[in-house]
A = this chain, B = another copy of it.
């Protein structure tokens, strides 16, 4: 088996990361984020709950990949690396207080002669722990540690055409998932049964392709729709209540997110009004989303429309989205919020998430879109507005 993308794609990513390393005077980059490891090597074993690192010297044509011994087999089927660049640490380093796999990796860094190097580490990566960092520092007292947080993430911000092709499939899967959920929702049906339909729709996908692990699927009903990050329960849906759903289509761990609100029965006029305002606000954002426009200008376009119509939203309206393992689907580089001056460029992809949790009538709606040379390309495709079903 081979890596998902052609070796040239990984080599370009590596070169772009190395350019950023040079700008930060980093000799060797130690990468713990599973997304960034995958991005630079292809590795897609689901093993990031154990310590692992991709180690990228600034002048190498490939990183080293250091994994738990048993996971070297996962690399065999997913990376573009030469086998000699995949190193396993013994199983005796797992699940014990007596030693820590980062001690093995520290020794490896010494063995390679990098004990006096400037080492980049990802200080906000979820799977690079404080303890791992302390072991590295203690074992490499002559090295200089540089915060390389988000260094590779910034390279990930602009997708390649090959990545966009996968993102488009993820967008289709998001639609499959939402269709299955919306079709299942009815008064008396349990929330967990709609969640089951949603996951089934996302994973089974189409005749052409199926889905990978979808993160962070959220569902709330009735009074709970004011809570943005809850999941389904065993309770039945009830007539004359709203249901909010936020989900993603996931293809090779590339995500397109999609949110909708369903109402069971005749919706209150006020809620329909909110749905209409949000729809106008989203349209204003999508119309404005062209290369060279700063992210905060999208927020201004949104704010201008909804405030004129009497609504407010204090949280961001989206963020960059793409390759993610767990626990979320968002990229941590760019948000659609005030003060974010990053300019849109072709093949950036965003989740435009208009969650209205603050006013009296709760409503969520979102799309995932791609920046092109011209008009934004919608990657998600599902009827907009409040989705009304007979109770």
**A191–B218 Cα gap in the complex (Å)?**
25
CB interface residues, A 49-95, toward B, < 8 Å: 49, 69-71, 73-74, 76-78, 90-92, 94-95
**A332–B94 Cα gap in the complex (Å)?**
10
CB-based contact B49/A335 at 8 Å: no
**A340–B133 Cα gap in the complex (Å)?**
25
Known: A130-B128, A131-B123. A196 touches B216 (CB 8 A): no
CB-based contact A77/B224 at 8 Å: yes
Using Cβ atoms and an 8 Å threshold, which residues of chain B touch A193?
203-204, 210
Interface 0/1 of A228-250, CB less than 8 Å to B = 11111010000000000000000
Known: A76-B227, A203-B192, A328-B49. A335 touches B95 (CB 8 A): yes
Interface 0/1 of A320-344, CB less than 8 Å to B = 0000011110101001010110000
**A299–B314 Cα gap in the complex (Å)?**
55
User: Which residue on B lies nearest to A98, using beta carbons?
Assistant: B339
Q: How many copies does the complex hold?
A: 2
Using Cβ atoms and an 8 Å threshold, which residues of chain B touch A267?
none
Using Cβ atoms and an 8 Å threshold, which residues of chain B touch A332?
95
- Kindly identify which residue among B77, B124, B131, B204 contacts A131, using a CB–CB cutoff of 8 Å: B124
Question: Shortest Cβ distance from A20 into chain B, in angstroms?
Answer: 15
CB-based contact B337/A74 at 8 Å: no
Using Cβ atoms and an 8 Å threshold, which residues of chain B touch A125?
129
Question: Shortest Cβ distance from A387 into chain B, in angstroms?
Answer: 21
CB-based contact A123/B127 at 8 Å: no
**A205–B195 Cα gap in the complex (Å)?**
11
CB-based contact B134/A129 at 8 Å: no
CB-based contact A126/B124 at 8 Å: no
Using Cβ atoms and an 8 Å threshold, which residues of chain B touch A308?
none
A199 close to chain B: CB less than 8 A: yes
Question: Please, could you name 8 A-B residue pairs with CB atoms under 8 Å apart, sorted by A?
Answer: A45-B228, A47-B228, A77-B227, A95-B316, A131-B147, A190-B210, A195-B203, A197-B200
